[in-house]
Structure 1
Amino acid sequence: MTFVFAPSAELGRQTDSRMHIGLSESLTYLGQAVQPHDFDLSADLFDFGGQLQAGLRIPALSFSEYYSLVPTLQSGDLAQCRAMLAQMRSRGARQSGQIIRAVGHPGAEALTHSLSQDPDELLHMAAVSDQTLTDFTALLREGFGLMDAHVPDLAAEIRAIVHDILLGHAQPGSKVEFDGASHYQYWGLLMLNPKHHKTPLAVVEVLAHESAHSLLFGQTIEEPLVLNPDEELFTSPLRPDPRPMDGIFHATFVSARMAWAMEQLADVATLSPADRQQAAEAAAKDRQNFASGLSTVRAHGRLTQTGAQIMAAAEDWITR
């Protein structure tokens, strides 16, 4: 399938479907592998995989539990696997629309606990206040309203991919402060730090940023973007610390998507002159970041066919 750079509802839906079908196929494979050892567990894996194939869409937390299920199965602890699969299935289908949660508030406990077990410090978040939750939820609505009015294709793609938004701050004393984050193991989840996004325009840019990471996750089920080992580190356009080539690729593509969003808004005559100027300046910075990242990818990246096609699409848009 040819990758199209511009955002669209169809691209979002296809990506979401790819992730669920990929999970379905993996569960079916696991069911086949375990069948000689535990027929009932095998049947449950087949059944769950079949439900996903038939259209069941599950929440981010269920996706993350799959990544714990696999090593447990490989260890041979089939009793624990049965319990983990039952827990995974008990969460049922994801809710329709988007859910906005916040660390430290009802409804976010299980997700927050799961994220806190991850070795990535970025995912260990501190609670936000009641007022912050109220204010930032309203700001998110404004940001989506701005997209609905002027970049509806981006809004539709994001809604097709992002179904759970979790608000949180960096932990006190954290060495790394985040403004937004996403993780391939938590498909459908986007994490935002309300401290860093103060206007609807800023919300649009961070949503374009983080959803583009998720978009790439969903495009790389069959093969990765790059073949460079993670031990090779390079200068990143978006992070102060050296990053693996996969991270450089992500940052480069994401910069192009951010530029796309900001340039669209910079051309909206009904926006205030200040907002149009801010959007134009952000787009120019995003283009600079893309050029910086692309030079590193060209010099050192060992791209797969998927990676080459996606980067070519981004570059074609930038240089159009």
Structure 2
Amino acid sequence: MSIAPHAEDAFAERAHLLQHIQRLLPSDQGETSPLPADLLSYPGFISHAYEISADLAPAADLAEVRRHADASAARTKVSPCSAWAVDLPAREPHSAATLQRAIQQLDSLISTGHRVDVTIAQWSDQERRTFCAASCFLAEHWPAMLDELRHTVRQVTLLDGVGIAGFSNITAHGVIFLNRQRLRAGSDGLPGVLRLLEGLVHEGTHNRYNAADLHTPFLIPGTGAQAPVVQTPLRPDPRPLMGLFQQLIVLVRCIELYARFTAAATNGTAIQDRQAVLSRQAYEAYAECEKHRALLTDAGAQILADAFHRLNTSPTT
């Protein structure tokens, strides 16, 4: 993986991840032959396989997963957005289960007063138009990023409520969860399309990273459990080193997004302020990662060096 988006590498990494997913499904499920691509890449199937491998009760049986996968593929084929035909689903069993696990992982924050009250929402027509406008922006101004997203993301699921702005998880790989507030103008003056773009780049990068790390680890194998828990610029609670490393890639990519948006639109104060915040957070993430360079593989060290170069040169070079 590189910080610069790369569709062909993303495709290869995802193919490797999907092979891993199929191996998680026990033979008594009757899936000894290669599965259809639409089923294998469907996030509900990925979630189903992970739940079985972890001895959890699956959110849906395999026959129901197949029905949802077929419906998802059908929706994608008739997507009205020519820039990016991706599924924008309502609530599905795997998305509901994944959200519930995400909320449970926030228990430590909830206990300190952090309010989490969020549900899966239905996309409105206006929200679909905003999504398409964001996709069209990428098609025109950052086509490499859009190409990578097409190879990485199968669904974008909308959240409604407070406490979670967005997230993704390898146990439902291929889904971006985004709060619908990210599609609206913010109190900081940023337009909804730009806020959505940042969310898509941010969570799409997490999806890409999860597949890439399974293909070519960024931490030295065997050190994950012993890796330090560190403070990160994007979370108030301490996170594993791997979480910080992901944040660094996300932040550097988002800096480039804002540089491209600035070049294509009026360079307003709100955009400049957001760029400054992202830059400060990226430098913080880099400095903390540098302290733990010895725990990185060669691939991880290359990413770290690339991040340093990009933070000290023009964001779009």
By the TM > 0.5 criterion, same fold?
A: yes
Structural RMSD (CA): 3.1
Between 12-21 and 235-244, report the one with greater CA deviation.
Answer: 12-21
Output one character per residue of 1:194-245: Cα deviation in whole Å (capped at 9) or x when no partner. Answer: 1244221111111111111111101011454333437832111111222111
Output one character per residue of 1:172-196: Cα deviation in whole Å (capped at 9) or x when no partner. Answer: xxxxx12111111111100011124
Question: Which of residues 268, 279, 293 is equivalent to 2:285?
Answer: 293
Residue 210 of structure 1 pairs with residue 195 of structure 2 = no
Residue in structure 2 matched with residue 66 of structure 1 by the alignment: 49
Output one character per residue of 1:44-100: Cα deviation in whole Å (capped at 9) or x when no partner. Answer: 2321xx236x78643111101111111339xxxxxx99x955555565565143111
Residue in structure 2 matched with residue 35 of structure 1 by the alignment: none
Residue 51 of structure 1 pairs with residue 35 of structure 2 = yes
- Identity value in percent: 20
Q: Structure 2 counterpart of 1:15, which letter?
A: E
In the superposition, relative to structure 1, how do residues 90 and 284 fare at CA in structure 2: closer, same or farther (>3 Å)?
same
Structure 1 residue 255, shift from structure 2 partner:
0.5
**2:214, 2:237 → 1: CA distance?**
27
**2:9, 2:228 → 1: CA distance?**
31
Structure 1 residue 248, shift from structure 2 partner:
1.0
Structure 1 residue 125, shift from structure 2 partner:
3.2
Residue in structure 2 matched with residue 23 of structure 1 by the alignment: 21
Q: Structure 2 counterpart of 1:101, which letter?
A: P
Q: Structure 1 counterpart of 2:266, which letter?
A: S
**Please, which runs of 5 or more residues in structure 1 have no aligned partner?**
32-40, 74-79, 103-107, 172-176
Q: Structure 2 counterpart of 1:272, which letter?
A: T
Structure 1 residue 262, shift from structure 2 partner:
1.3
Residue in structure 2 matched with residue 262 of structure 1 by the alignment: 258
Residue in structure 2 matched with residue 169 of structure 1 by the alignment: 160
Structure 1 residue 109, shift from structure 2 partner:
3.7
Residue 100 of structure 1 pairs with residue 93 of structure 2 = no
For the 8 Å contact 2:13–2:215, the answer to whether it is kept is no
In the superposition, relative to structure 1, how do residues 218 and 136 fare at CA in structure 2: closer, same or farther (>3 Å)?
same
Question: Which of residues 171, 174, 182 is equivalent to 2:168?
Answer: 182
Q: TM-score scaled by structure 2?
A: 0.76
Query: Secondary structure at 2:236's aligned position in 1?
Result: coil
For the 8 Å contact 1:140–1:203, the answer to whether it is kept is yes
Q: Structure 2 counterpart of 1:311, which letter?
A: L
Residue 153 of structure 1 pairs with residue 136 of structure 2 = no
Output one character per residue of 1:229-279: Cα deviation in whole Å (capped at 9) or x when no partner. Answer: 3783211111122211111111111101111211122223xx2343xx544
For the 8 Å contact 2:216–2:299, the answer to whether it is kept is yes
Residue in structure 1 matched with residue 94 of structure 2 by the alignment: 111
In the superposition, relative to structure 1, how do residues 308 and 89 fare at CA in structure 2: closer, same or farther (>3 Å)?
farther
Equivalenced residue count is: 280
Query: Secondary structure at 1:165's aligned position in 2?
Result: strand
Residue in structure 1 matched with residue 6 of structure 2 by the alignment: 8
Q: Hey, which bits of structure 1, 4+ residues long, moved more than 6 A?
A: none
**Please, which runs of 5 or more residues in structure 2 have no aligned partner?**
77-84, 108-115, 185-191
**1:55, 1:89 → 2: CA distance?**
9
**2:138, 2:177 → 1: CA distance?**
19
Question: Which of residues 75, 100, 105 is equivalent to 1:120?
Answer: 105
**2:226, 2:258 → 1: CA distance?**
31
Residue in structure 2 matched with residue 284 of structure 1 by the alignment: 276
Q: TM-score scaled by structure 1?
A: 0.75
For the 8 Å contact 2:39–2:45, the answer to whether it is kept is no
For the 8 Å contact 1:263–1:279, the answer to whether it is kept is no
Residue in structure 1 matched with residue 189 of structure 2 by the alignment: none
Question: Which of residues 166, 174, 193 is equivalent to 1:200?
Answer: 193
Q: Structure 1 counterpart of 2:283, which letter?
A: A
In the superposition, relative to structure 1, how do residues 23 and 115 fare at CA in structure 2: closer, same or farther (>3 Å)?
closer
Larger radius of gyration: 1
Residue in structure 1 matched with residue 213 of structure 2 by the alignment: 220
Structure 1 residue 166, shift from structure 2 partner:
0.8
